[in-house]
C-alpha cells in the first residue's frame, strides 16, 4: 500500500527518504514565528549552517539545543570563554570557533534588540510590514537567495553587532520563520500556510500533526 506521503506534492528540495528534512518542511518551514526563543534558535542554526548543508544542521539540532541551553539568549549571552572552548570540542554541534563565538555575541545583541523594541519578533517583522511576503514560485530556480528586505534586515543586524548575518543567511531566516512564503505554488504547504495566516498560526501545526499521524498509520499497514 502506498503511504499518504507518496501522493502529496511538496517542494522539490525535500525527499520522503529524509525524515528530518521532511518533518521540517511539513511542520516548520515557512510557518510564521512570533516567539523570540524560536527566532534565536534559527539565528544560531542558520549562522552555523553557513557553507554547509541544512541536513547537517538538522541532524545536530538537538545537540545545539543542549549545548546552547535550550536556545535561551539570556543564558547564551553569559557564556564564558571557558564555555566556548568546551563547545569547540563538542561533537554534537558544528565545531567552528568563529560560529560559536558569533552565536554568543549575537545573543548579547539579541537582548539589546529586545530591550529596545520589546521583542525581537516586533523588530524583525517590521522589515515586511508585519505581513508575510507571499511569493508564487513554480520552480526552485526562481527562488532568490536574497531580497531587498533581507538586504535591509542584514545591514541593520550588522549595525547592531550581529555576526554571520549576511543577506543570504538572513533570507534563509525569513523563509524559515514565515516572513516569506517560498513554498512552490504546487506544494501542499503553500496553500495551507497562506490560509493559516487568515485562520491563525496554530492551525498549520494541528493539520501537520494529523497528516503525520495518517502517514504513520498507512505505513504500518
Over residues 152-175, the pLDDT tens digits come to 999 999 999 999 999 999 999 999
Contact 187, 30 (CB under 8 A): no
Q: Where are the beta strands (DSSP E) in 44-172?
A: 133-134
Catalytic residue among 41, 46, 149, 192: 46
- Note the pLDDT tens digit of each residue in 19-33: 999 999 999 999 999
Predicted local distance difference test score (pLDDT) of residue 219: 43
The reply to whether 167 and 190 lie within a common domain is: no
| CATH number of the structural domain spanning residue 133 | 1.10.340.30
Active site residue 24: yes
The reply to whether 126 and 203 lie within a common domain is: no
The mean pLDDT of the chain is: 89
Active site residue 54: yes
pLDDT at 211 over 90: no
Last residue of a domain, one of 139, 155, 176: 176
Contact 36, 119 (CB under 8 A): yes
Distance CA 187, CA 138 (A): 9
Which of 20-29, 44-53, 87-96, 210-219 shows the lowest per-residue confidence on average (mean pLDDT)?
A: 210-219
Contact 47, 164 (CB under 8 A): yes
The model's pTM is 0.85
Kind and range of the H or E run holding 180: strand 180-181
CB-neighbour burial class of residue 168 (10 A; exposed 0-12, middle 13-18, buried 19+):
middle
Predicted local distance difference test score (pLDDT) of residue 6: 52
pLDDT at 13 over 70: yes
Active site residue 190: no
The reply to whether 92 and 109 lie within a common domain is: yes
CB-neighbour burial class of residue 152 (10 A; exposed 0-12, middle 13-18, buried 19+):
middle
pLDDT at 124 over 80: yes
Q: Which domain holds residue 215?
A: 1-29+183-221
Determine the Cα angle at 218 with ends 216 and 221, to 5°.
Answer: 110
The reply to whether 150 and 198 lie within a common domain is: no
Predicted local distance difference test score (pLDDT) of residue 7: 78
The reply to whether 165 and 195 lie within a common domain is: no
Contact 134, 181 (CB under 8 A): yes
Counting the structural domains of the chain, the total is: 2
Catalytic residue among 28, 54, 74, 101: 54
pLDDT band at 103 (very low <50, low <70, confident <90, very high): very high
pLDDT at 45 over 60: yes
The reply to whether 114 and 191 lie within a common domain is: no
Cβ neighbors of 220 (< 8 A, separation 6 or more) are: none
Amino acid at each position: 500500500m502506498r503511504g499518504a506521503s507518496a501522493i502529496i506534492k511538496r517542494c522539490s528540495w525535500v525527499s520522503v527518504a529524509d525524515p528530518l528534512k521532511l518533518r521540517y518542511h511539513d511542520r516548520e518551514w515557512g510557518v510564521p514565528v512570533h516567539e523570540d526563543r524560536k527566532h534565536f534558535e534559527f539565528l544560531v542554526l542558520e549562522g552555523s549552517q553557513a557553507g554547509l548543508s541544512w541536513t547537517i544542521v538538522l541532524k545536530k539540532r538537538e545537540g545545539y539545543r543542549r549545548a546552547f541551553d535550550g536556545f535561551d539568549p539570556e543564558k547564551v549571552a553569559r557564556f564564558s570563554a571557558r564555555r566556548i572552548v568546551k563547545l569547540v570540542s563538542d561533537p554534537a554541534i558544528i565545531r567552528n570557533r568563529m560560529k560559536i563565538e558569533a552565536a554568543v555575541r549575537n545573543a548579547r545583541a539579541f537582548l539589546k534588540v529586545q530591550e529596545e523594541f520589546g521583542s525581537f519578533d516586533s523588530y524583525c517583522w517590521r522589515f515586511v510590514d508585519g505581513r508575510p511576503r507571499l511569493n508564487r514560485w513554480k520552480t526552485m530556480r526562481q527562488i532568490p537567495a536574497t531580497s531587498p528586505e533581507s538586504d535591509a534586515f542584514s545591514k541593520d543586524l550588522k549595525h547592531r553587532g550581529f555576526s554571520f548575518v549576511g543577506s543570504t543567511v538572513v533570507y534563509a531566516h525569513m523563509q524559515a520563520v514565515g516572513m516569506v512564503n517560498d513554498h512552490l505554488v504546487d506544494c501542499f504547504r503553500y496553500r495551507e500556510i497562506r490560509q493559516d495566516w487568515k485562520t491563525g498560526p496554530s492551525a498549520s501545526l494541528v493539520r501537520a500533526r494529523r497528516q503525520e499521524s495518517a502517514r504513520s498509520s498507512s505505513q504500518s499497514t
